[in-house]
Structure 1
Amino acid sequence: MAANKNRNPRLVLLVAALVAAGSLLPMAYWHRDEDSATSQAAVAAATAASASTAEPPLPPVPPGAEQVPPEENEPEHATATGPTESFARAQGLNRTPDPLRLSASAALLLDADSGEVLLHKNDQAVLPIASLTKLMTTMLVLEAKQPMDEVLTITSDDVDTLRHSRSRLRPGTTLTREEALHLALMSSENRAAHALGRNYPGGLAKMVEAMNAKAKQLGMKDTTYVDPTGLSNRNQSSARDLALLVRAANQNPLMRTFSTTPSHVASLGGRTLQYINSDRLVRNTRAGWDIDLQKTGYIVEAGHCLTLATRVAGHNLIMVLLDSGSNGTRVSDAERLRHFALVRWGAPDVYAQSRSAQPAHGLAAMGHAMAARMHKAKLREHRKDTERDSEESAPKPTVAKKEPGHAAAAAKKERAEPGEPHTKVADTNEAGPKHKEGGKAGRVHQSFAAAHAEPKS
């Protein structure tokens, strides 16, 4: 009895010491961060902003159409002989402390204009990337300039025999290359993506070869592709490499438009299917996001992944999240990154303010109407870009040669009234425009670019 009485106080003291040590460690890390006040404010604001983390209502189904639930094409199960948890969590990367307490095991927030890394967490860890692979697949198909109206046929070769993921595209279904691109980007359709790779010039093997060559060209040193869908866990990359891919993909107007379509009705083989965007941030206009390009991804080994090119407080940002714990936490992780940027730049969340001023009824209908208007505007922008490219590529009419006197007068007028200066287009292989030496943003940008620079010969 006496021994028990003496041992119990010591046990209580030991447990108390362990609890205190466990709580002090993250606190010590928190206060070491130079932006701790910004981080805490961002966490508080993101926690309060529940509109984007809640599942937004689905759009109404058109008469005679069959609705495909969002994320249906992202497989939920591991392979029969594969791991039952993500590679990152098996390594304990999700337990790495970060100032925003992200669920993701790896993350990167990058100012696309300056190249400044605003926040990073295990951003050089090489991990499976699931359907983020489809960004490279669709970009290469578009660069190959294959006919968009060419009809592709889904075959048994396109059926997922690795994870047995669902698809509404039965073997024998026909669809145009443009439709396949649309479904692969917005709803992560695996059979559509595989058919795109199978019909790439030279076939599937040439597609995979081109994907890896393009990765090297972009400076993605830690990236490997083995298929066009992302179903294999051997499709791997890092958050830093994926930021380079998002930057390049965001230069393509069609990829921006297709990836951010909230919903899309497709007529396929006598069936009318309404596909829903797999990213609820795109579907929920009440969340206040201004997204140019996005892609989600999920397999068990990769966890829930998300890439975004978005505008926040007048800044063009790239967000990469790998291995969030669930679909809901990858959305809340993105929300924390957005609020981190807002607080950092002292910008108000005007969308949150407008939401609080709106009556509760009618918000869902208003959101869908707003999403439709935004998508139509992006389509108009894409058509204008296409028409402008066509005009520039068209042969120029022959201009009659002017007399020497007229030429001299024109040159004199041009010197007196110079036109607009030429703007140098930034190389998509670089992280962003160079800055003056000595600036904080410039130093961070240089380090980001140097990490992916080709070795000098």
Structure 2
Amino acid sequence: MASLIGNDVYAKANETTSAKKKKVLKKTVAAKRAGSKKQTIKNRRASTRQATRTKRIVKRAAHSRKLIAAKRASYAKQGGRRKAISPAIHFGTDPSDLRSDAAYIYDVQNSQSLYSKDADEALPIASLTKLMTALIVLEGRQDMNEVLEVTRDDIDTIKHTSSRLPIGAKLSRSDMLHIALMSSENRAASALGRHYPGGLPAFVNAMNGMAKLLGMESTHFVEPTGLSPQNVASARDLSKLVIAAQAHPLIRQYSTHRNHVVNIGNRVLQYRNTNRMVSYSTWDITLQKTGYIAEAGRCLIMQADIQGRPIIMVFLGSEGKFSRTADASTMRHWLEKTRLPQLADATVATQS
């Protein structure tokens, strides 16, 4: 009898303990579900905010393009159609001759704006994006000798452009950065973004974070190659990016090399710089990047020494294959004949 009573008490104790465990487990599961639901709601709100911001920036860029198109139409009514620029690269000496939709010239030495044309309009920037891609890679202190592989994730699904880098090609991070900057290799830029800690989403977040840190108020990135027209920035913003990028010797070196050879195992690929100006003896270019997609037009950013001064030039939405180069020549001659002598005279007067 005593044994039966003992067993009965033991069974009841087990039932009580089991009930308590179930209750605790139930509470734990409920708490986890609530936390998960809360996190899901938080993620959805963040995604909604990001989507809203992207739409706002894209809408603003589209509005800027309409304004610029209206200016072109007004120009056409007043003076007729502009003449095409020949490969000989004829240039003027008046900034009003510029073919670019937006332009900004900045004197690094004196931290002074020298010329501005629609410099605060957010416009698509095409492969100028790769300058920020390079900055994130180097600021992240990633191993430049690590071998990265090109995969199907690097295929261009935006513009459906081709690439000389085949799927399965393996190159060091250094070589990927080199041909992305110098020859605007899109698959290389994509591979750099994918191999960032946290993958492509983390890389894009880092790009936008860096833009905010640099004070690039009109800038927004959605991917690292520049193929998306949703990558937008103003000419003034891009001058800030150049200042940050020129602090890295590799960016200066890689972006201004005339050519570079990479070995992908079964063959060797020869890459050339997309900017012919780096080979001109009349120019002393210390950093540069070109870009083009239909929505952005021809784009160019660079820093060059002109009369001993480091000058940043930014040109966005230029018409014609040679127009951005012609615009750079126009601004250089205008600076040499008009603007820089005035600055030199002002400096002498101040010192006296």
Do they superpose with TM above 0.5? yes
Query: Which residue of structure 1 aligns with residue 161 of structure 2?
Result: 165
Q: Are residues 1:310 and 2:304 paired?
A: yes
Match of 1:289 in 2: 283
Separation of aligned partners in 2, 1:209 and 1:89? 26
Q: How is 1:12-411 mapped onto 2 (pairs within 5 angstroms)?
A: 90-93=66-69, 95=72, 99-283=95-279, 285-286=280-281, 288-344=282-338
Superimposed CA distance per residue, residues 296-336 of structure 1 (whole angstroms, 9 cap, x where no aligned partner): 00000000000001100011100000000022001000111
Q: Which has the higher helix share?
A: 2
In the alignment, the residues of structure 2 paired with residue 317 and residue 232 of structure 1 have an alpha-carbon distance, to the nearest angstrom, of 29
Give secondary structure in 1 for the equivalent of 2:176: helix
Q: Judge conservation of contact 1:311–1:317 (CA < 8 Å) in 2.
A: yes
Larger Rg computed on CA atoms: 2
| 8 Å Cα contact 1:87-1:302 kept in structure 2 | no
Assess if the C-alpha contact under 8 Å between 1:133 and 1:228 holds in 2: yes
Q: How large is the RMSD of aligned CA atoms in angstroms? A: 1.9
Distance in 2 between the 1:88 and 1:194 partners?
28
Structure 2 unaligned regions, length at least 5? 1-61, 76-93, 348-352
- Report how many aligned residue pairs link the two structures: 262
* Cα distance in 1, alignment partners of residues 95 and 147 from structure 2: 49
Query: Hey, what's the Cα distance between the residues in 2 that align with 1:275 and 1:91?
Result: 38
Q: Distance in 1 between matches of 2:249 and 2:104?
A: 24
**1:99 offset after TM fit, Å?**
3.6
Structure 2 CA distance for aligned equivalents of residues 145 and 108 of structure 1? 31
Q: Following TM superposition, by how much is the alpha carbon of 1:89 offset from its aligned partner in structure 2, in angstroms? A: 5.2
What whole-Å deviation, never above 9, does each CA across 1:387-435 have from its counterpart, x for those lacking one? xxxxxxxxxxxxxxxxxxxxxxxxxxxxxxxxxxxxxxxxxxxxxxxxx
Contact 1:313-1:345 within 8 A present in 2 as well: no
Structure 2 Cα separation of the partners of residues 183 and 104 of structure 1: 26
1:87, distance to aligned residue in structure 2 (A):
7.5
Please report how far the alpha carbon of residue 269 of structure 1 lies from its aligned counterpart in structure 2 after TM superposition: 2.4
Displacement after TM superposition at 1:145 (Å): 1.1
Distance 1:110 1:261, change over 3 A: same
Query: Helix, strand or coil: the match of 2:96?
Result: coil
Secondary structure of 1:327 counterpart: coil
Pairwise CA distance, 1:88: 5.5
Instruction: Determine if contact 1:87/1:127 at 8 Å carries over to the other structure.
Output: no
What 5-or-longer segments of structure 1 have no aligned partner?
A: 1-85, 348-438, 441-457
Percent identity of equivalent pairs: 49
Q: What amino acid sits opposite 1:323 in the alignment?
A: G
Residue 36 (structure 2) aligns with: none
2-structure distance, mates of 1:236, 1:127: 5
Structure 2 SS opposite 1:295: strand
Shift of 1:344: 2.1
Cα distance, 1:91 vs structure 2: 3.2
Aligned to 2:303, what secondary structure does the other structure show? strand
Question: Could you tell me whether the CA contact under 8 Å between 2:114 and 2:339 is conserved in 1?
Answer: no
Q: Is the 8 A contact 2:95 2:331 kept in 1?
A: no
Q: Report the Cα offset of residue 190 of structure 1.
A: 0.3
Indicate if the aligned counterparts of 1:200 and 1:207 stay in contact, CA closer than 8 A: yes
Distance 1:330 1:87 in 2: 22
Shift of 1:345: 5.5
Question: How far apart are the structure 2 equivalents of 1:262 and 1:331?
Answer: 16
TM-score relative to the length of structure 2: 0.71
Secondary structure of the 2:314 match is strand
Q: Secondary structure at the match of 1:309?
A: strand
Task: Give CA deviations for 1:95-130 in whole Å, capped at 9, x if unaligned.
Answer: 388843100000001101112211110000110000
